[in-house]
Amino acid sequence: MSATWDQIVERLRELSDLASAIKLLHWDQATMMPSAGGAARARAQATLQATAHGRFVDPEMGALIDGLSEESLSQEQEANLRLLRRDYDKAVRVPQELVRELAEVSGRAYQAWTEARPAADFSLLQPHMARLVELKKQEAEALGYANEPYDALLDQYEPGMTTAEVEAMFQGLLRGLKPLVADVLANVPDPPDWLGYRYDPDRQMAFCHWLVSQLNFDVTQGRLDISPHPFTIHIGPGDVRQTTRPDQHNLMMPLYAAVHETGHALYEQGLPAEWADFPIGGPPSLGMHESQSRLWENQVARSRPFTDFLLPRLKERFPEEIGMVSPEEFYRGVNHPQRTLIRVTADELTYNLHVGFRFELELALFRDELSVADLPAAWDDKMSEHLGLCPDSIADGVLQDMHWSIGSFGYFPTYTLGTIYSAVLFAQATAQLPGLEAELRSGVTLRLLEWLRENVHGLGYRHDAKDLIERISGGPVTPEPLLDYLRAKYTALYPSA
């Protein structure tokens, strides 16, 4: 190892340590912090983020990267250097003043969103969001792009994927999905009553603790806690934390949120530990991360074999509430689809319609085909077009998600890309692992996890997400496996009349 490499390593460790502290500040804020600590916490987070950013864009870092380019490196060092250069170049390309203004305006816009949503008043958010869109366009120009500004935004979350590719994939998905949804929903009865019974929150959490361990989340190297919005966070090596939210009027949400987060958490626990401080030690994209949460939540835990395993265990905890529910009723209840206004409560079948029209609206904004002022009306039109619903209140319309208020444009499509990837991966795993269904029926998921560790988790960021999925499937990424899976599952559940 050269002296330059050693210096790079030292700097990456420092950045990793700062990131670890920033992540702990965030986790604590969401799970443990007394609310009175919020103002001081926000300031501490901003300070540490500025410190970390300053250390990364330090010209000495650039000089070390340049120096390393002239040395002979191992394949893994080369891979790290390539990602490091890419991230460094992107970071220094955006002027400091723009970074500062983006942080400031998104802070104001987020604050405005927290007030606009309960007040159902878009005008509170509109000026801040309009400015934010302008600034994000400036950021895209500074970062550079191949075809259109949105490419640059998308690239921050799903590197290696272009807007045109994603657009084609979404069009293919929606073309297949819309008639399927229409067919299925025409035959869906009312949801069963037991879904809405009262379920003791402490027993829900006890069940979630059992369930995440059953799925091989390593609780000696992590935690499961409670937060209003479930999330997973990698604090540092040996410390991956997930959360869920018990809900006394909803048994399935906390349970499937825990499985979803376990998917993220298993991925984090399976990333290559020896590269923990390096770019190749992380995930290649948000979509790849989401593929893991979706795979465990849907393909595994909403499958008939696994719900058959789950039901008797759940009956032990809630004998009075669901003692009489049959395996068939349980499977149908867990997979009950319906039109809903709210993305985060949407089921597996309709979820990607919600994402689909958000992506279309983002494209329109960044192609200058839609102004922020016209966004609420455009939202309602899309909602009606894709889901046949119109919100009574804007709080359940364009104001329902926080993403845009913090400037996260290009983030939404990764939810659907992840779902598409998950279907590809699960189809491959099923093909390569004969007997998997029987294992799932016994609650045994270790062989599937090992397959994912070998093919996905353990590789970290050796390939862009799309490339990795194509290597695994041996062909281009398409929405067909997802459509095949949904068609097979839902036409069996709800055959056309």
Q: Which residues bind its own copies (CB under 8 A)?
A: 13-14, 17-18, 20-22, 24-25, 28, 32-41, 43-44, 46-48, 51, 218-223, 235-239, 276
Element (H or E) spanning 12, and its range?
helix 3-31
Provide, rounded to whole angstroms, the least separation between the CB of residue 374 and its own copies: 40
Provide, rounded to whole angstroms, the least separation between the CB of residue 206 and its own copies: 14
Shortest CA distance to 180 belongs to which of 296, 348, 428, 422? 348
Cβ-based burial of 175 (10 A; exposed 0-12, middle 13-18, buried ≥19):
exposed
Q: β-strands 239-244, 232-236: how paired?
A: antiparallel
As a whole number of angstroms, the distance between CA 120 and CA 27 comes to 29
Provide, rounded to whole angstroms, the least separation between the CB of residue 226 and its own copies: 13
Provide, rounded to whole angstroms, the least separation between the CB of residue 44 and its own copies: 4
Place of tokens 């002022």: 373
Is-catalytic flag, 261? yes
Provide, rounded to whole angstroms, the least separation between the CB of residue 342 and its own copies: 30
Cβ-based burial of 200 (10 A; exposed 0-12, middle 13-18, buried ≥19):
middle
Report how far apart the first and last C-alpha atoms of the chain are (Å, whole number). Answer: 69
Place of tokens 């590809």: 424
- Residue among 460 and 481 whose Cβ is closer to its own copies: 460
- Residue among 149 and 222 whose Cβ is closer to its own copies: 222
- Residue among 75 and 220 whose Cβ is closer to its own copies: 220
Task: Please tell me which residue in 78, 101, 148, 261 is annotated as part of the active site.
Answer: 261
Q: Which long-range contacts (CB under 8 A, 24 or more apart) does 491-495 make?
A: 491/180, 491/183, 491/184, 493/184, 493/332, 493/335, 494/183, 494/184, 494/187, 494/188, 494/337, 495/187
Provide, rounded to whole angstroms, the least separation between the CB of residue 158 and its own copies: 28
**Mind giving me the DSSP string for 264-325?**
HHHHHHHS-GGGTTSGGGS-S-HHHHHHHHHIIIIIITTSHHHHHHHHHHHHHH-HHHHTT-
Other CB atoms within 10 Å distance of the CB of residue 5: 18
Q: Assess contact for 234 and 268: CB atoms under 8 A.
A: yes
- Residue among 43 and 313 whose Cβ is closer to its own copies: 43
As a whole number of angstroms, the distance between CA 41 and CA 38 comes to 5
- Residue among 33 and 120 whose Cβ is closer to its own copies: 33
Eight-class DSSP state of 460: -
**Beta carbons within 8 Å of 179's beta carbon, 6+ residues apart:** none
- Residue among 43 and 82 whose Cβ is closer to its own copies: 43
- Residue among 46 and 146 whose Cβ is closer to its own copies: 46
Provide, rounded to whole angstroms, the least separation between the CB of residue 242 and its own copies: 12
Q: Assess contact for 65 and 85: CB atoms under 8 A.
A: yes
Residues taking part in catalysis: 261
